[in-house]
Amino acid sequence: MFRTRLRRAISWVLVIGWLPGGPILGAENRQIIGRILVSSGATVGGIALPSEGTILADDLLSTGKSGKALVEFSPTARAALAEETSARFRRTPGGLVAEVSQGTLVAERREAGGVVVETPKYKVEPASPGKALYMVAMLPDKTTVVAAQQGRVSITEVCSGESYLLAEGQFARIPPDALGVPQGRGDRAPQASQEAHGKIKKPWHIGKLSHAASEALVTAIVVGAALVIAILALKEEKPVSPADP
């Protein structure tokens, strides 16, 4: 059952806190782009991390079973990695990019900038000015889940360049073999969204975040010096897209 698999796949334990960081990877000719605030069961390029350190451009940060990591890129941008997550970080002319190959990443932008999250098929980034809090998950079956807790989020299909605007307080479940994106925006009337979904292969499921799911995303980034067990729970609502055949 999807909901059971989803909860299991993107459940995480995060210890969040503000700790001093310092270089741990030696004098390499690569730019330092982030500071590890908290980590446990995490590695960079296969080398175990202490509880604090730095992230260099093109580093692959991975967490194991029950692992976690909180990275600060600037005073206004942070990202939390759940267990069994892998993400490669790099800087581009357009800003900071996190390439997620598996697992769950929650990103926070307090003002401007922030993190563009890329998967093999999609690019996810804030679409509204100001604060943003959003999640991108690559489930074991290659389903992509995107959630917008605060601010709107743009989901762009890499192969076509087409984008979908996910409204604040919504999530999108995208089947691994989906082609195309829904037309319009996530805050459109359900009837219009349903018609748009009918025009793409393997329609997306757009739904509302439950209160528990919304609070979990906030807690994963904001709460300091606390042990958090956060499970993304989705409301039992009918999808706005037609049922898959």
- Report which residue type is found at 199: K
The torsion region of residue 238 among left (phi > 0), alpha (psi -120 to 50) and beta comes to beta
pLDDT at 147 > cutoff 90: yes
Contacts of 211 (CB under 8 A, 6+ apart): none
pLDDT at 14 > cutoff 80: no
Contact by Cβ (8 Å): 68, 87: no
What's the CA gap between 114 and 155, in Å, rounded?
Answer: 15
Mean pLDDT calculated for residue range 101-116: 88
The pTM is what? 0.74
Residue 244 lies in a domain: no
pLDDT at 127 > cutoff 70: yes
User: What total number of domains does the chain contain?
Assistant: 1
In this predicted model, what pLDDT tens digit does every residue of 218-232 receive, in sequence order? 666 543 323 333 333
Most confidently predicted of 51-55, 153-157, 186-190, 233-237: 153-157
Name the 3-class secondary structure at 168. Answer: coil
Whole domain around residue 143: which residue ranges?
2-229
Residue 100's CATH number:
2.60.120.1440
What's the CA gap between 155 and 181, in Å, rounded?
Answer: 9
Instruction: Give the per-residue pLDDT at 173.
Output: 92
Mean pLDDT of the chain: 75
At residue 185 the predicted structure's pLDDT band, cuts being 50, 70 and 90, is: low
Residue 240 lies in a domain: no
Residue 237 lies in a domain: no
In this predicted model, what pLDDT tens digit does every residue of 62-106 receive, in sequence order? 999 988 888 999 888 899 998 899 999 998 887 899 999 999 999
